[in-house]
Amino acid sequence: MRDYRDFLGEVLIEKDQLQERIAELGAQISRDYQGKNLLLICILRGGVMFLTDLMRNISIPHMIEFMAVSSYGVGERQSTGQVRITLDLNTPIHDLDVILVEDIVDSGRTISSVLDLLSARRPRSLCVCTLLDKVERREVQIPVKYVGYTIPNKFVFGYGLDIDDYYRNLPFIGVVDLEKYEMVRKTG
Ligand code: IMP
Ligand code: MG
């Protein structure tokens, strides 16, 4: 695979900025959920980096769980609306105050399907915390309680977000130069 610098358009959010904002979100959640029975559900795989940094910044006792859904395949840049659960929770969530932890809300289709599925299980409360929000692209209206950053309509990568399954490890959010990316993809 190619070095990300071959197709990086620009760094949109630096590592330190991300960490500062996540500390604020963690502090906010710690205040809001004081005395509650908090469960963070991470949507794999994009939400993993965000979850681990967020939970380090939450000072109240809480649990974590993982769920995986498939939204689109390699080479596609938007979700199809056909969201499939590929990994489900291991425990019931009734009596729990649930926060869904997502990397990015784009059209809103993925999170909307997950919200439908989870609310049927009757948690005490349910809300969404997303690191990034591409509001311009929204097709399905969903309530998002916590947002790290609202970003423009550009394809981004790093900090959990992938391009064709790679580059999730980068500690910042970068914008993909799609023209360059397609060129380097063809040439290997
Ligand atoms: P939605 O269903 O359109 O809201 O898409 C949400 C999912 O698409 C996210 O969980 C991401 O996995 C993926 N996604 C959306 N935009 C981007 C992006 O700019 N970069 C990488 N993945 C993205
Ligand atoms: Mg993805």
- Residues lining ligand 1, Cβ inside 6 A: 46, 71, 79, 102-111, 155-157, 161
User: Does residue 78 have a pLDDT over 70?
Assistant: no
34-56 b/e with 16+ CB inside 10 Å = b?
Answer: eeeebbbbbbeebbbbbbebbbe
> For all residues of the chain together, what is the average pLDDT?
93
pLDDT at 100 (0 to 100): 98
Taking CA atoms only, the protein residue closest to ligand 1 atom 11 is: 104
Looking at the chain, the whole-number percentage of residues with pLDDT higher than 90 is: 86
User: Residue 180 has which token pair?
Assistant: 């360059």
pLDDT at 63 (0 to 100): 98
User: Residue 105 has which token pair?
Assistant: 């809300």
Active site residue 106: yes
Which stretch of DSSP H or E encloses residue 117? helix 109-119
Centroid of ligand 1 to alpha carbon of 115 (angstroms): 16
> Which listed residue (97, 103, 106, 133) is catalytic?
106
* Residue listed under structure tokens 């290997």: 188
